[in-house]
Amino acid sequence: MTSARLRETKQMWILGKQGQDENRITLFWTAVAASSGQDTNAPQHLSLEERAELLNEPELVKLQNTKDEATNKIQQLLANEQSEEVEKQIIELRQLAAKASNTYCFMYLHKSYLHIKQAHQKFLEKAAVCQMVNLVHNL
């Protein structure tokens, strides 16, 4: 359901059912939110501990080290006299550093996304059941 359609449905529901019990309205919107996978209480970001753990993964550490080594070698080469051979080495090292950096960013974002998605799913599985049971008991 698109957000515009969801807003329209919500407005129609609220305007048409103003006399309804507040718990029934809450139950309705909880069901709508659950069906669209929305829950503002669900994890949206990595915690500091999760982020630190992710940054220490061997693949990411290796890529960061590769980038750092290439950058350091470039700095050393730039400090010396320039020649055609040195310029070729610098170009190759810059390409290596860029590739390592891009791969690092992609892997970090991908792994972060997967971790957040997994935590979000676990949260929704627990929360949806608890909320629906509590709301039904209040009706």
Q: Which domain holds residue 67?
A: 39-138
Q: How confident is the model at residue 118 (pLDDT cuts 50, 70, 90)?
A: confident
- 105 in a domain, yes or no? yes
Q: What's the half-sphere exposure (Cβ side, CA atoms, 13 Å) at 106?
A: 7
Contact by Cβ (8 Å): 14, 25: yes
- 15 in a domain, yes or no? no
Whether pLDDT at 113 is above 60: yes
Whether pLDDT at 34 is above 80: no
- 88 in a domain, yes or no? yes
Q: What sign has the CA pseudo-torsion 103, 104, 105, 110? A: positive
d(C-alpha 71, C-alpha 51), whole Å: 24
pLDDT value at position 125? 74
- 116 in a domain, yes or no? yes
- 33 in a domain, yes or no? no
